Amino acid sequence: MKIIDGKKIAQNLRKDIAQQVKTLERAPGLAVILVGDDPASAVYVRNKDNACKEVGFYSEKINKPAGITQQQLLDEVVRLNNDDRIDGILVQLPLPKHLDANLVIETISPQKDVDGFHSENIGKLMQNKSYLRPCTPKGVMTMLATTGIDLAGKDCVVVGASNIVGRPMLMELLNARATVTICNSKTQDLSGKLRRADVVVAAVGAPQIIQGDWIKPGAVVIDVGINRLENGKLVGDVDFDAAAEQASWITPVPGGVGPMTIATLLENTLTAYKNRK
């Protein structure tokens, strides 16, 4: 069994981006909007801001009060759409309940939608024509590429069907010409499906629900899940120790998909910069 070292792959990607930034006319710019004071979201936004600075990007961290109106938030997005220093706009989710996240995402210019959530970018992913692809699934594809395994013809099972992870992951794997099964909370015989999978991508958000003996010997296991146990320990959706005995390659939690998501956000911002040029 080999570990897919997300931390290392992300570090290499960031180094490569930093090198490229040195050759550009101006620094690519990323604006991150945080609404309210949710502590977890604040940490994510701070990490993104630090990652931007590390690679030499121009970064704007915009904090708005939880009571901001829908129109004020949309106005802020439009201002950033028209700001030439800004190549990428990201609105940290979740938003307070009175705000329509979908409307906010649809207001971001598709050329600056570095999260890849705008319907135009999702539509392009469906057609295998996209350039701004959702960060977590795209980061998973970068990780899979490091194994050297050709995904064409492989049986892949994605567990979880959210708009931000599971669904775009399905399309990424299909675009790589894999045969893909996607599961949700109503799926029957999940273990039976996983036992036939060459590649498993777990994105549920339930600690260690995927058991080791559900993994086919030699399968590749990607664990997107991040779950904090009562004792404070972070675990994925997969029972790592037991699955590692079966898998040929496996991602750890932490240090797997997590660091790749931020590195891929930087990659998308650089892509958006180049496309705007």
Residues serving a catalytic function are 48, 92, 115
Does position 224 interact with ligand NAP (CB under 6 A)? The reply is yes
Q: What tokens were used for 256? A: 């797997």
- Cα 257 from Cα 200, distance rounded (Å): 13
How far is CA 183 from its chain centroid? 18
Residue 216: what residue type? K
Residues 6+ apart with CB under 8 A from 163: 117, 122
Does position 184 interact with ligand NAP (CB under 6 A)? The reply is yes
Label residue 204 exposed, middle or buried (CB < 10 Å: 0-12, 13-18, 19+).
buried
Does position 166 interact with ligand NAP (CB under 6 A)? The reply is yes
Q: Which one of the spans 29-37, 49-57, 106-114, 154-162 is the region binding ligand NAP (CB under 6 A)?
A: 154-162
Label residue 200 exposed, middle or buried (CB < 10 Å: 0-12, 13-18, 19+).
buried
Residue 2: what residue type? K
The single residue among 59, 92, 136, 175 that binds ligand NAP, judged by CB under 6 A, is 136
CA-wise closest residue to 108 among 130, 84, 82: 82
The single residue among 203, 221, 265, 266 that binds ligand NAP, judged by CB under 6 A, is 203
- Cα 68 from Cα 194, distance rounded (Å): 44
- Cα 122 from Cα 91, distance rounded (Å): 17
The single residue among 18, 42, 149, 206 that binds ligand NAP, judged by CB under 6 A, is 206
Does position 257 interact with ligand NAP (CB under 6 A)? The reply is yes
Residue whose tokens read 């600690």: 207
What is the pattern of x (binds ligand NAP, CB under 6 A) and - over residues 36-75? ----------------------------------------
Q: Which CB, 4 or 165, lies closer to ligand NAP? A: 165
What's the min distance (Å) between Cβ of 193 and ligand NAP?
A: 10
Q: Which one of the spans 33-41, 77-85, 177-185, 241-249 is the region binding ligand NAP (CB under 6 A)?
A: 177-185
Q: Which one of the spans 13-21, 67-75, 144-152, 160-168 is the region binding ligand NAP (CB under 6 A)?
A: 160-168
Q: Tell me how many residues contact ligand NAP (CB under 6 A).
A: 26
Residues of the shown chain interacting with ligand NAP in the complex, contacts defined by CB under 6 A = 136, 159-162, 164-166, 183-187, 190, 203-206, 209, 224-227, 257-258, 261
